[in-house]
């Protein structure tokens, strides 16, 4: 970080805070990106293209299929919703053929079902897929536009900008969102673009201006991708873990459960690990076509309750060896949870450990629940058979 950037840091951090009481527990919901990408071809692929129908259908499913009651409340639009041109007042506008009703109407539809709407913009000249970006001079007007539409959550990406612009733009957007008077959750992709770790990223500052932030590369629909993310988060947990807490969350990216790339065991593992990492539970899948097994994993009440624990302490990897890893997360009421992740291929494998190895003091412990992935697995087996 150059001296200019460091100075800017000091200047901005005195003047900004977005403590509007939102996201005291990690956000839960659904986002279009990993599953539906930038499919804009509504003529040949009307079911899957980025259009108001996709978000309305998803809102219907969240409201009618038991998701909302479990806490899955945000319906989040990602890239590719915009028209290639701003309107005559310089405001962003949706693509007129794919969002003929406009975003305000879509927001009402979503609110009428007791859900919340998220939208996407990009700090820079263009979004990652080439749609209009939010340059520094457009931050205020874009925040106002989103508020006027009734948006509840902004994902602010960082393609097509440099580190100095990002250093200015992310705090400015925080301030601009606050100035609208509409409480909006603010998801910052900033860390991804500057390496994700201190000293490039000041997580204490980031937590003051954003509710959550993407630390690392986009998730893809594969176990390799999930493993890469877990590995990076665990290897860097000393920097990342203390940054999390109520209203400020590390975001390892979407849940891909229910798509094509994960086996049932791998899907359970993603759910268990996201739970223990106090990660946002934001699915990207097709809720109109979801098999019962994926549904059972994503709707596991124990996993969700642990993820949403009110203390908001992110878990840590305690042990790693013999292709077995043990993760631990403290919970309220003096409870805690362990996840045993096996990457062994010679199953069944008998794993021995002890309280001391798991950093528990000697003493008596009551086992309240069987291990979470076991529970997920029980439910799953029931539903499938
Ligand atoms: C704006 O920021 C102040 C101070 O952090 C906070 O009390 C208020 O709730 C925020 N309002 C909105 C709409 O974000
Ligand atoms: C990080 O940000 C905090 C404000 O949240 C500030 O007090 C601190 O000095 C910053 N640290 C560095 C190394 O810039």
* Residue of 14, 19, 173 with the most ligand 1 atoms within 8 Å of its CB, for mutation: 19
Both 295 and 363 in a single domain? no
Domain count, the chain: 2
Both 364 and 244 in a single domain? no
Both 334 and 306 in a single domain? no
> The domain containing residue 122 runs over which residues?
2-314
384 falls within a domain: no
Is the separation of the CB atoms in 153 and 20 below 8 Å? no
| CA of 184, nearest ligand number | 1
Q: What are phi and psi of 186, to 5 degrees?
A: -130, 110
Q: How many CA atoms lie within 13 A of 242 on its CB side?
A: 8
Residues linked to residue 23 through DSSP beta bridges, in sequence order? none
Distance between CA atoms of 152 and 23, rounded to whole angstroms? 11
Catalytic status, residue 87: no
Both 38 and 148 in a single domain? yes
Both 196 and 331 in a single domain? no
Both 131 and 57 in a single domain? yes
pLDDT confidence of residue 355: 85
Catalytic status, residue 95: no
In sequence order, what DSSP letters do the residues of 318-370 get, joined into one string? EEEETTEEEEEEE-STT-EEEEEEE--SS-S------TTTTTPPSS-----S-
Is the separation of the CB atoms in 282 and 255 below 8 Å? yes
The answer to whether the CB of 241 is under 6 A from ligand 1 is no
Task: Tell how far the Cα of 19 is from the centroid of ligand 1, in angstroms.
Answer: 5
227 falls within a domain: yes
| CA of 11, nearest ligand number | 2
Q: What are phi and psi of 20, to 5 degrees?
A: -105, 15
The answer to whether the CB of 7 is under 6 A from ligand 2 is no
* Single residue among 314, 343, 367 that ends a domain in this structure: 314
Both 184 and 208 in a single domain? yes
Query: What is the pTM for the complete model shown?
Result: 0.94
Task: Render each residue's pLDDT in the chain as its tens digit; 385 residues.
Answer: 444 444 555 555 545 567 789 999 999 999 999 999 999 999 999 999 999 999 999 999 999 999 999 999 999 999 999 999 999 999 999 999 999 999 999 999 999 999 999 999 999 999 999 999 999 999 999 999 999 999 999 999 999 999 999 999 999 999 999 999 999 999 999 999 999 999 999 999 999 999 999 999 999 999 999 999 999 999 999 999 999 999 999 999 999 999 999 999 899 999 999 999 999 999 999 999 999 999 999 999 989 999 999 999 999 999 999 999 999 999 998 888 888 898 888 878 888 888 888 888 887 777 765 545 554 444 444 443 3
The answer to whether the CB of 179 is under 6 A from ligand 1 is no
The answer to whether the CB of 20 is under 6 A from ligand 1 is yes
Both 227 and 364 in a single domain? no
């Amino acid at each position: 970080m150059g001296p200019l950037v460091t100075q800017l840091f000091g200047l901005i951090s005195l003047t900004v805070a977005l403590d509007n009481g939102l996201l005291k527990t990690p956000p839960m919901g659904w986002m279009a990106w990993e599953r539906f990408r930038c499919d804009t071809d509504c003529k040949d692929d009307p079911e899957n293209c980025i259009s108001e129908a996709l978000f309305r259908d998803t809102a219907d499913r969240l409201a009618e299929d038991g998701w909302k009651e479990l806490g899955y409340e945000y319906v989040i639009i990602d890239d590719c919703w915009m028209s290639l041109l701003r309107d005559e007042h310089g405001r962003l506008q949706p693509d007129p053929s794919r969002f003929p009703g406009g975003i305000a109407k879509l927001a009402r539809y979503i609110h009428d079902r007791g859900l919340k709407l998220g939208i996407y913009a990009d700090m820079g000249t263009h979004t990652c897929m080439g749609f209009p970006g939010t340059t520094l001079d457009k931050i205020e007007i874009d925040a106002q536009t989103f508020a006027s539409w009734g948006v509840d959550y902004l994902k602010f990406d960082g393609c097509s900008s440099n580190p100095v612009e990002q250093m200015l733009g992310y705090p400015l957007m925080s301030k601009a969102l606050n100035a609208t008077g509409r409480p909006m959750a603010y998801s910052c992709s900033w860390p991804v673009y500057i390496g994700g770790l201190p000293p490039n990223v000041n997580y204490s500052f980031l937590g003051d201006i954003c509710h959550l932030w993407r630390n690392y590369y986009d998730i893809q629909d594969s176990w390799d991708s999930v493993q890469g993310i877990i590995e990076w988060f665990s290897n860097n947990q000393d920097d990342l873990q203390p940054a999390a807490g109520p209203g400020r969350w590390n975001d390892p990216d979407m849940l891909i459960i229910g798509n094509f790339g994960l086996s049932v065991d791998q899907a359970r593992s993603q759910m268990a690990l996201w739970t223990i990492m106090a990660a946002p539970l934001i699915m990207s899948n097709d809720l109109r076509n979801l098999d019962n097994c994926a549904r059972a994993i994503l709707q596991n009440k124990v996993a969700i309750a642990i993820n949403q624990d009110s203390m908001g302490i992110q878990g840590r990897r305690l042990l790693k060896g013999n292709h077995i890893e043990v993760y631990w997360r403290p919970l309220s009421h003096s409870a805690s949870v362990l996840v045993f992740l096996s990457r062994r291929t010679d199953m069944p494998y008998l794993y021995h450990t002890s309280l001391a190895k798991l950093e528990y003091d000697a003493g008596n412990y009551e086992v309240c629940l069987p291990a979470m992935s076991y529970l997920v697995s029980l439910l799953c087996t029931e539903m499938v058979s």
